[in-house]
Amino acid sequence: MEAAIHECMAFNSCNPTGCNSFIIIVTMRKRILLISLLVTTIAIIIYSLVSTQLYYNIALEDRAHSLEVYVNMFDEGAYPLDDEGAKAFSDELNGARVTFMDGEGNVLGESEAENIETDHSDREEVREAIGSDSGEGFAVRASDTLSQEMMYYCRAVEVDGTVYLVRVAEFLQSQWSMYVRLLPSLAAYFIIDILGCLVFTFIATYFIMHPVEELTREAAAGGTVKTRYHELSTLADILNERNRNIEWKMSEVEEEKKLVERAQNSKNEFIANITHEMNTPLTSIKGYAELLSSGMLNEEQTKLAVKTISSQTERLTNLIACIINYNEIDDDTLPPYDVDLSKLAREMLAVVKPEADKSGIALIDEIDDNVIVQSRHELMTQLLGNLIRNAIRYNKKGGTVTVELNYKRLVVSDTGIGIAPENMDKVFSRFFTVDKSHSGKNGGFGLGLAVCRKICHRSGWRISVQSELGKGSTFTVDFGLR
């Protein structure tokens, strides 16, 4: 139960406007921001690599095409096949590198470098141009001579019936340097991306967290939460279920608290009643005992004192016996058995007859035979004894007491003093007596009907009273059988 209270408190302390939900939002924002940054960064990097590759391929095609166009421009009459001719042709081609070679790949003229290797037959583009039917060859590589990435195009041309090779080459931007050149614009994209991610994160957390926040706020307020978002309906159900459980546990705790309070009050009241009931005989016994010990009483007074002490002692003994008996009914766990209530009721009428005769009260027997109930002998004797004795005790001279018994109910009615409507509910309470001056006489401590009620409750029977002041009372025990 303590755990339940703790849980209630822990849940109610979750203030959605407080730091808990703030922390949740901040953590969530951080995560969304990090994830969106990571995803977009990876996307940007992949995109830039792929696009650089594509761009590079397109640049290669363009370059190859322009090199072909360059070689088309070669005019064998205009350029001698030596270094001078190569430089002149290079100038014509906006500085593209030009190499003239004989049909074997031996360099005849070169526009860029001097003292270069004279045999170029091992170069890929040269080999291709010599070996292929088309007489053309392409290659992309870092130039051995110029140590830079270049694209080469070599074509075989015929001058005066002799085959020569014309090779043109241009610098190429490497894929990596292309990428490096892209970096400043990539950085700009990154900044835009970060800003975009921040805005996205803010909007996303707002749209995701706002309904969740609303839910938790409503749930913390203790009401039933509702959501128009399908995705949150499970959360709403869980919160509602939890709130219901908490309410239920709280009411259980309350109920238990009330029961404990009631039990405590009833215990206090019980003790107060007992001490009150004991006080009167004890005071009387003490007073007479003191008088006796003073030796001032004459013989007659002494007899009266002894008689009073004896009767008050008996009254105390009776009270204690009644209380013990009353409490024992609760602790009694002995099993019930078949009791012939008809027989017991008739025996009880016989027992109380002398008492009834003293007041001229007629006892009327309306008892069916063989009424068997599930209880115990001594309990049924107490039930019958208390009801029938009360009917005689609170009767008028010359009145009647009727005991009616069948398999459905036991009814004890009298033509006595009756019970006032305001006392009707109280007569079954412990220590309740209408006439306090009467209390204690004939053992009337107000416990008889309380005992009857206990016995009936044990068996699941209902006991009730109907009465009219001055006309009589009827006590009914309903066995609950139809």
Residues that bind ligand ADP (CB under 6 A): 386, 390-391, 394, 414, 416-419, 427, 432-434, 444-450, 473
- Which of residues 109 and 418 has its CB atom nearest to ligand ADP in the complex? 418
- Which of residues 109 and 440 has its CB atom nearest to ligand ADP in the complex? 440
Query: Are β-strands 409-414 and 462-468 bridged in parallel, bridged antiparallel, or unpaired?
Result: unpaired
Minimum distance between the CB of residue 274 and ligand ADP, rounded to whole angstroms? 14
How far apart CA 284 and CA 280 sit, in angstroms, is 6
* Distances from the Cα of 85 to the Cα of 75, 105, 112, 123, 241, angstroms: 11, 17, 12, 22, 94
- Which of residues 303 and 353 has its CB atom nearest to ligand ADP in the complex? 353
Cβ contacts of residue 315 below 8 Å, gap of 6+?
Answer: 281, 440, 443
How far apart CA 256 and CA 262 sit, in angstroms, is 10
- Which of residues 71 and 322 has its CB atom nearest to ligand ADP in the complex? 322
Please name which of 186, 218, 154, 210 lies closest in space to residue 45, comparing C-alpha atoms: 186
Minimum distance between the CB of residue 224 and ligand ADP, rounded to whole angstroms? 49
Minimum distance between the CB of residue 421 and ligand ADP, rounded to whole angstroms? 13
- Which of residues 178 and 434 has its CB atom nearest to ligand ADP in the complex? 434
Minimum distance between the CB of residue 384 and ligand ADP, rounded to whole angstroms? 13
Query: Are β-strands 409-414 and 472-478 bridged in parallel, bridged antiparallel, or unpaired?
Result: antiparallel
Instruction: Specify burial of residue 302 (Cβ count, 10 A radius: 0-12, 13-18, 19+).
Output: middle
How far apart CA 118 and CA 381 sit, in angstroms, is 140
Minimum distance between the CB of residue 406 and ligand ADP, rounded to whole angstroms? 21
Query: Are β-strands 400-405 and 362-367 bridged in parallel, bridged antiparallel, or unpaired?
Result: parallel
Minimum distance between the CB of residue 265 and ligand ADP, rounded to whole angstroms? 20
How far apart CA 34 and CA 43 sit, in angstroms, is 14
Minimum distance between the CB of residue 443 and ligand ADP, rounded to whole angstroms? 6
**Hey, what amino acid is at 255?**
E
**Radius of gyration in angstroms for the set of CA atoms belonging to the chain, rounded to a whole number:** 59
How far apart CA 245 and CA 227 sit, in angstroms, is 20
- Which of residues 371 and 463 has its CB atom nearest to ligand ADP in the complex? 463
Minimum distance between the CB of residue 426 and ligand ADP, rounded to whole angstroms? 8
Place of tokens 């074509």: 155
- Which of residues 244 and 276 has its CB atom nearest to ligand ADP in the complex? 276
**Hey, what amino acid is at 97?**
R
- Which of residues 83 and 277 has its CB atom nearest to ligand ADP in the complex? 277
Q: What is the distance between the terminal CA atoms of the chain, rounded to a whole angstrom?
A: 42
- Which of residues 198 and 434 has its CB atom nearest to ligand ADP in the complex? 434
DSSP state of 441: G
Q: Which residue is nearest to ligand ADP (CB)?
A: 448
Minimum distance between the CB of residue 411 and ligand ADP, rounded to whole angstroms? 12
Helix (H) or strand (E) holding 180: helix 175-220
How far apart CA 17 and CA 225 sit, in angstroms, is 17
